[in-house]
Structure 1
Amino acid sequence: MKTTDTHRILLMLSALLCLSKAAFADPPSTEKKLPCDKLSEEVVSDTDENTVKSISAFKPAQIVKRKNPRYPKSAAITGTEGWVKINFVIDTDGNVQDPVISDSSGNKAITRAAMSAVKRWKYSPAIKDNRAVQQCYNEVQLDFTLQNQIGASGKFITKYKEAEKAMTAGDMERAEKLIEAMKENGGGNRYENAWLWALDASVASTINDLRRELRSIDRTLASSNTHQGKYQTFDDEQIKSLYQRKFVLHLQFNEFSSALYTVDKVKKLANGEDILAPLNSYIEKINSLIQSEQNIIVKRSLSDEGKNFHYLVRNKFGFTKIEGQLDSVEVRCDSHHEKFTVALDHTWNIPESWGSCRVLVEGKAGTAFSLVELGNT
């Protein structure tokens, strides 16, 4: 891409708000290892206050069999690369249970290959106080890359510039059609996909579709090779802008846990302090709000697959304004994993001993709802 194109996209991503931001996807080997039982809570309740007793000795599950997924022939033939994020539970026998696609580059063959591989993985189970326990929250990103797939093809650049020209001219209908055609064309390499999703984010920002913009910025960074050190898709200033923009968008949607998670990711970057400098006052306000009595209302909708994830910042929540059908809510916490049906008049009160929680809401695709995190009283 030419430098002028780079700066043009950067400006478009930043147009709606002054700040910009995005979160890197975890590398393929990254997994969060957490137990899924209530043993710690039981030990504490049975221990005299004047007695010191070991709460737990937790040994994370260890991989025994982890075969890489087969690269789909249809994707290899067309030079298509991609990635898939999956989170799952490891049961007491070391088997993968309840795998869920949290996001992907969009290629169906690649997504199927990733899911098929993860389901066959085998672990030695997590051990806590000499007994096998579930390891509740595990998340991994599987990357599908081909050799010598660096830079953009002439064909891609031509189509990209055509879509960019339509957007610049204000012909958003044509820009949308061109972008969708590029997505449906089977995808490209990671570098091309990163630029395509960046352009999609620009269009979304222009038409004020902030939810789509947030999703597209996520996919821009997940598709880029910046965090892998293979080929730098975006320069440091662009990365800084994307991180800041995503932080702001999370605030727009009251997704405070996701905003703070992004902050933790940024802190690990070499230029993290520079990125966070203009955000520090907002971070303080978020932490203050979380501790307040004010309810936090998060408006969400289910994906085409009928799913939606949300990270909680409080241990009490419920649902309101359901427009459609919600079937279940699955709570995946540091130390517990449980699934419930959904009722409008019910409040979920998650024990603090369960730790940080992520909820998976499932139901009819497109269902809109508000998740309310109840204030501290």
Structure 2
Amino acid sequence: MWTHSESGYFWLADSMYAKEVDDIQRELASVNRALSSGKDALTGQTYLYLLNRQFILYVADTQYAKSMQTYKQILEQEDNANVVAELRPYATKVLTLLQSDKPLIHSAEIRTSGSSYHELSRESFALRVNEGELDEVQIRCANKRSRFTASENSTWNIPSSWGQCTVFVTGTPKSKFDVVEIGAYQSAI
């Protein structure tokens, strides 16, 4: 029998291995899987360590909206003073960047499953293809879903009434592209 705790600690071990071999994507995936085991399956300090790593990895991967969501979770944890003190300057810089008018560029790659996704934090975005081909763009929001043919010469503007949005992109596996977010910051933590 495999329990949630065993699963959580297995993915924790895998994340530590990925950290040692400097595989950010694998480490992030393993941290996410360990956290999905739940707070009850892991000790409080282990759970806090995983949230700390998740924040750092989301920032490194330019997933700023997700990093701020993780920071909010860290603030809600018990015995978090040291981690909050360590991460506060970085969270402040991320929030300042999100609220600025500078474009946010997230480099992405179509996985072998044929898709990639990115949670948006701005009201508009465009795609810049670096290698390969993209097929479709789906904008999945709290209050609306839309599908479009992927086009490098398009900018998508999202009304604030749609709520928090994630862009899903499908295409040829291993295609590389950038999601360029522009416009106003859409959600405050």
Instruction: Return 5+ residue gaps in structure 2 as ranges.
Output: 185-189
**Are the counterparts in 2 of residues 328 and 340 from structure 1 also a CA contact under 8 Å?**
yes
State the distance in 2 between where 1:336 and 1:309 align. 16
**Are the counterparts in 2 of residues 296 and 375 from structure 1 also a CA contact under 8 Å?**
no
Q: Per-residue displacement from partner, 1:2-33 (whole Å, max 9, x unpaired)?
A: xxxxxxxxxxxxxxxxxxxxxxxxxxxxxxxx
- Is 2:128 aligned against 1:314? no
One-letter identity of the residue aligned with 2:118: H
Partner secondary structure for residue 46 of structure 2: helix
* 1:348 equivalent among 156, 164, 178: 156
Aligned-pair identity in percent equals 30
State the distance in 2 between where 1:365 and 1:257 align. 25
State the distance in 1 between where 2:170 and 2:110 align. 7
Q: Per-residue displacement from partner, 1:136-178 (whole Å, max 9, x unpaired)?
A: xxxxxxxxxxxxxxxxxxxxxxxxxxxxxxxxxxxxxxxxxxx
Alignment of 1:274-285 (within 5 A): 274-285=82-93
**Are the counterparts in 2 of residues 316 and 374 from structure 1 also a CA contact under 8 Å?**
yes
Match of 2:187 in 1: none
* 2:137 equivalent among 317, 322, 329: 329
Partner secondary structure for residue 237 of structure 1: helix
Match of 1:191 in 2: 5
* 1:207 equivalent among 21, 24, 35: 21
One-letter identity of the residue aligned with 1:354: W
- Is 2:137 aligned against 1:339? no
Q: Which has the higher strand share?
A: 2
Instruction: Return 5+ residue gaps in structure 1 as ranges.
Output: 1-78, 80-187
Match of 1:140 in 2: none
Alignment of 1:254-265 (within 5 A): 254-265=62-73
Match of 1:298 in 2: 106
TM-score (norm 2): 0.86
Change in 2 beyond 3 A, CA 1:282/1:302: same
**Are the counterparts in 1 of residues 52 and 74 from structure 2 also a CA contact under 8 Å?**
no
Superposition CA RMSD, Å: 2.0
One-letter identity of the residue aligned with 1:339: R
Q: What's the offset of the Cα at 1:218?
A: 0.7
TM-score (norm 1): 0.45
Q: What's the offset of the Cα at 1:194?
A: 2.3
Count of aligned pairs:
184
Match of 1:221 in 2: 35
Q: Per-residue displacement from partner, 1:309-345 (whole Å, max 9, x unpaired)?
A: 2111101111113422221111122322111111011
Q: What's the offset of the Cα at 1:368?
A: 2.0
- Is 2:177 aligned against 1:369? yes
Change in 2 beyond 3 A, CA 1:298/1:191: same
Q: Which has the higher helix share?
A: 2
